[in-house]
Amino acid sequence: MRQRLMQPAHRAPYLLYDLRSMHYHAGGAASLKKSHTSRLLLACLIGFIVVAGCAETPETPTPTPEVTPPAQTTYTHAGPQPSFSATVTAATKHFRSDMSCYWTVTGAVTNTGDAPGRNAVIRLMLIDDETDMIRSTETILIPRFGAGEKTIFTADALPGDCDREYRAEIVVTYDIP
């Protein structure tokens, strides 16, 4: 049994020769050179990957928001045109029985132009002094607002908070004649 496991002595030199021939003739020396080159390239690749993760990117400046005025196209024809002036004549705070507050606002709008205004929209706004936010509005539509005509109106019960200060403003828009 032992002889089966062990190789015959006359075969040992041929085995060494076969191993040597594989090393020198079957690409063994060339394989070693390729192996070192492959390892070197692999090490460089890993190095580049590591360095790429650590490299700084230039900081891009954060753009600052700019206030752009809204685009307005104003059409003016050559003929007579309406023109409006508006004033707030009174703004008064009132208390209800449940201790809530409301404002009564009186205003006047005059067409100072030389033509009537069509579909004039008069918008009365109650504006918070601290935040400049519109708290409440009342809108009046006048289909034909004649040249030189003056309209006085009162907006009742514009809701607001009792502990806030408000101002009233009037804005007039109209269709082009």
- Are residues 170 and 127 both part of a single domain? yes
**What is the total count of domains within the chain?**
2
Whether residue 34 is found in the same domain as residue 102: no
Torsion over CA of 127, 128, 133 and 135, rounded to 10 degrees? -60
The pTM assigned to this predicted structure is: 0.54
Give the mean model confidence (pLDDT) for residues 104-117: 93
In a domain, 70, yes or no: no
pLDDT for 58: 61
In this structure, the answer to whether residues 49 and 99 fall within a common structural domain is no
91 and 145 in a single domain? The answer is yes
- The answer on pLDDT for 29 being more than 60 is no
Asked if residue 100 and residue 32 are part of one domain, the reply reads: no
Is there a contact between 91 and 105 (Cβ–Cβ < 8 Å)? yes
Let me know whether 41 and 90 are in one domain: no
Instruction: Identify which has the larger pLDDT, 158 or 65.
Output: 158
Asked whether residue 32 is assigned to any structural domain, the reply reads yes
The per-residue pLDDT for 39 is 81
Tens digit of pLDDT for each residue in 44-84?
778 777 766 655 666 666 666 666 666 666 666 678 889 99
Q: What is the mean pLDDT of the chain?
A: 78
Q: For position 101, what pLDDT does the model report?
A: 93
- Its sign, for the CA torsion 156, 162, 168, 174, is negative
- 111: closest CA among 149, 152, 142, 151? 149
Domain that holds residue 127: 84-175
Clarify whether residues 30 and 105 are in a common domain: no
The stretch 81-97 carries a mean pLDDT of: 91
Percent of the chain with pLDDT over 90: 49
Which pair of tokens denotes residue 102? 């409301």
pLDDT at position 24 is 45
For residue 12, pLDDT over 60 is answered with: no
On whether residue 89 sits in a domain, the answer given is yes
Shared-domain flag, residues 92 and 21: no
Q: What is the CATH number of the domain that holds 120?
A: 2.60.40.10
